[in-house]
Structure 1
Amino acid sequence: MKILHIPTGGLFSDGIGTFIYSYLEYMDLSEIEVTILATNKPLLEDKLKFQVLGVQIVEIERKKSSILAYMREFLELLKVGKYDVVHVHGSSALMSIELFIAKIMGVPVRIAHSHNTTCNHILLDRMLRPFFYTLYTQSWACGEKAGEWLFKDKRFKVIHNARDVEKYSFNPHLRRVFRTTHSLKENTLALGHVGRFNIQKNHTFLLDLMDEMKCKQKDVKLFLVGEGEKVEDVKRYVKERKLENSIVFLNRYSDMQSFISAMDIMLLPSLYEGLPLVAIEWQINGIQSILSTTISDECIFTNSIQQLPIDNVSTWIKAIEDFSYINRLEKSRENIDLAQKSNYDIRIEAKKLENEYKKLIGE
């Protein structure tokens, strides 16, 4: 079986890239040949982790200025590759480009996979919708809201953003090591955020929050994990507000078990989300978390998450001030059990996806 994955926004170590990697890591690839089309120039480390699994990476940039060149190269890739499945990941009808070429090239299984609840190109999306609905053979989504956004009243299948429950469970030893390394006192409240530096993740809200916390002279530190086009802007704002001693940029931080275990509260004030992977990881770890009400509550399967509006930082600060320590080890164990019951255990879900592919091509 030959499968081509296409994350239309590019191959990165977060979001859709993480989703694809997580599933491939736990699938039996001995009888499956997997290729990923990177529509950007991915970092070497992002390519290497897939190549270790035996996955081939093909790079064809999907630039607005050269979309016809991209289509020609993509058509040639399909001609040579002779794929059984083309699995396109995105958040809008702009996936029509890949799905249309896959259709005219006779790819039997064409999956449109929705990963968000809105998109950046609303007008183009609206124009392409009627055409888009004629191109895919399967409609999948990371959650109900993401499916309803892209497929409206049409049928779709939910593929859960599952995670490795062992990899994200709470670890008290790793907590101590991280906090010692970063000179955090016992009573220092550590706030964490994981997300690509873009408009969607709403980092300015976090800066406003820390500004106000600083005025209240609270012993609080905010740790930011992620990269992206807005990172330098955010760093500049941090300097302008004189928050350098209160905010730590961890950039690409791969040891999420250590990071989440070391934090006291996780924050996600996104303007919109499909079904955030990080919310699953945080619940597995048992950490108390605050998410914006703009995020679908489908990602919540425990009582570790609180949702608040993002029209005022004061409500978030009040929630942070009301924080009280819990037995994280016990809470993590309890939440892992709930994750497995809610279809968020990657070992179980990867096997289901593997069987679904086989069923689709008639094996």
Structure 2
Amino acid sequence: MDKPIRILQVIGIMNRGGAETMIMNLYRNIDITKVQFDFVVHTNEVGSFDEEIKALGGRIYHCPRYVIKNHIGYKKWWKKFLSEHSQDYIAVHGHIGSTASIYLSISNSYGLYTIAHSHSASGISTLKDVVYKLLSYNTRNVAKCFFACSQLAGIKRYGRHIVHNNKNFFILNNAIDTEKYICNDYIKNKKDKELCIDESQTVLGHVGRFDNAKNQIFLVHIFNELQNYNENSKLILVGNGKNFEFVKEKVKLLDLENKVIMTGVRDDVNEILQTFDMFVFPSIYEGLPVSVIEAQASGLKCLLSDTVTKEVDITGNVEFMSLEKSPKEWAEKIVSMLPYERKNTQQKIIDAGYDIKSTAEWLTDFYIKLAEKNL
């Protein structure tokens, strides 16, 4: 090939979320002389990764955010875009699920290979969930290929028949650059100093966007109960989102302001993980969270809600607990898991298939084979 093949990645906005971080991990590690990514984002805002995408040679296009009332306009945008650009691509890789059946169907009509990618194993608990399920359901009849971050995420999105019987269903692990997460005393001391952490303190940590699914309010209540067992402790919350101020207010109401650090979005998560003694993740639902892979790669013990797929435990350092248990019971469990000897888990992560280099090689080969079939 004289020039790289181009794949169109479809996403909401390229900020530092789990799916977006996974895509960028892949983008940084694919051979961009062979495969290039372009992006359609559903916003006019500038994303955290936009400049890096452009530096890597990617292009970013802005489509309208979908709401029911602009259904016709949304389809019209995609038809116009693909009439002008479809010849640039061999495949459309869709990460935004709610409208996948729309843009992938239109992409099919332009002769492009269509990939649906499930990053979540959400259930139906709100009206928003119901609407999402209704909008996304037909994707299973539209896409030519199905990716998921876990078996559970695949089943929730596409159904058991596709996961167990379709030869075009693949698990694409939420892989990471394992080298960046190895325990490092120098980095730990540097970050402890930056975040005003005393080495005698026990530090609980969490990384995730601030929304209902991540359940940070429950985590704050757990930490509040932990004070009855260990007053010399801190909680670090990394991320941002619609519930950030709500959580901040709860911290204030519980008089925990001097013990809870809310960092906002960070680009040094691999280093901040060094300051944690334990990773706590009480999500209401998940796919297979990359943040938990990162935490394990840092040698951390992790306590997760039992709504998170058991597939995420790849080091033996993960324990699960029901959200029906009280914050007090969660705090007691944390106490029982500490202290422990933190060890280098890099090889376990690699052996489990979560090293980004091998995953990027697989995906590069997958895309190239698609191009060869179309020649």
Q: TM exceeds 0.5?
A: yes
- TM-score category by the smaller chain? over 0.9
Instruction: Tell me how far apart the structure 1 counterparts of residues 279 and 133 of structure 2 sit (CA, whole Å).
Output: 35
Q: Is the 8 A contact 1:171 1:257 kept in 2?
A: no
Aligned with 2:189: secondary structure?
Answer: helix
Matching residue of 1:359: 369
Instruction: Tell me how far apart the structure 2 counterparts of residues 320 and 128 of structure 1 sit (CA, whole Å).
Output: 40
Among 193, 199, 208, the alignment partner of 1:186 is 199
**Residues 187-226 of structure 1 correspond to what in structure 2 (within 5 A)?**
187-216=200-229, 218-226=231-239
Q: Does 1:151 align with 2:158?
A: yes
Give the counterpart letter for 2:150 in structure 1.
G
Aligned with 1:30: secondary structure?
Answer: coil
Question: Deviation at 1:139?
Answer: 1.1
Among 102, 106, 131, the alignment partner of 1:101 is 106
Instruction: Tell me how far apart the structure 1 counterparts of residues 66 and 140 of structure 2 sit (CA, whole Å).
Output: 24
Instruction: Tell me how far apart the structure 2 counterparts of residues 266 and 84 of structure 1 sit (CA, whole Å).
Output: 40
Question: Deviation at 1:128?
Answer: 5.0
Change (3 A) 1:66 1:126: closer
Aligned with 1:133: secondary structure?
Answer: helix
Q: Does 1:261 align with 2:274?
A: yes
Instruction: Tell me how far apart the structure 2 counterparts of residues 290 and 217 of structure 1 sit (CA, whole Å).
Output: 17
Matching residue of 2:320: 307
Question: Deviation at 1:280?
Answer: 0.8
| % identical equivalent positions | 28
Q: Is the 8 A contact 2:15 2:47 kept in 1?
A: no
Aligned with 1:148: secondary structure?
Answer: helix
Q: Is the 8 A contact 2:14 2:47 kept in 1?
A: no
TM-score normalised by length of structure 1:
0.92
Change (3 A) 1:128 1:229: closer
Q: Does 1:134 align with 2:141?
A: yes
Q: Is the 8 A contact 1:308 1:315 kept in 2?
A: no
Change (3 A) 1:304 1:18: same
Matching residue of 1:85: 91
Among 31, 35, 45, the alignment partner of 1:32 is 35
Q: Does 1:62 align with 2:75?
A: no
CA deviation digits over 1:322-341, x for unaligned, max 9?
2434442xx22xx2111111
Question: Deviation at 1:42?
Answer: 4.1
Q: Is the 8 A contact 1:27 1:351 kept in 2?
A: yes
CA deviation digits over 1:167-221, x for unaligned, max 9?
1111111111111222222221111100000000001111111222235561111
Question: Deviation at 1:270?
Answer: 0.3
Among 340, 343, 347, the alignment partner of 2:350 is 340
Instruction: Tell me how far apart the structure 2 counterparts of residues 209 and 130 of structure 1 sit (CA, whole Å).
Output: 36
Instruction: Tell me how far apart the structure 1 counterparts of residues 199 and 143 of structure 2 sit (CA, whole Å).
Output: 54
Question: Deviation at 1:232?
Answer: 1.2
Instruction: Tell me how far apart the structure 2 counterparts of residues 166 and 292 of structure 1 sit (CA, whole Å).
Output: 27
Matching residue of 1:13: 16
Matching residue of 2:330: 316
Change (3 A) 1:258 1:163: same
Q: Is the 8 A contact 1:90 1:116 kept in 2?
A: no
Change (3 A) 1:86 1:225: same
Question: Deviation at 1:125?
Answer: 4.8
Give the counterpart letter for 2:358 in structure 1.
I
Aligned with 1:35: secondary structure?
Answer: strand
Matching residue of 2:119: 115
Aligned with 1:163: secondary structure?
Answer: coil
Give the counterpart letter for 1:302 in structure 2.
T
Among 272, 275, 290, the alignment partner of 1:277 is 290
Q: CA RMSD in A?
A: 1.9
Q: Which structure 1 segments of 5+ residues have no match?
A: none
Question: Deviation at 1:228?
Answer: 0.7
Q: Does 1:76 align with 2:83?
A: no
Among 261, 276, 298, the alignment partner of 1:248 is 261
Instruction: Tell me how far apart the structure 2 counterparts of residues 43 and 205 of structure 1 sit (CA, whole Å).
Output: 31
Q: Which structure 2 segments of 5+ residues have no match?
A: none
Change (3 A) 1:197 1:129: closer
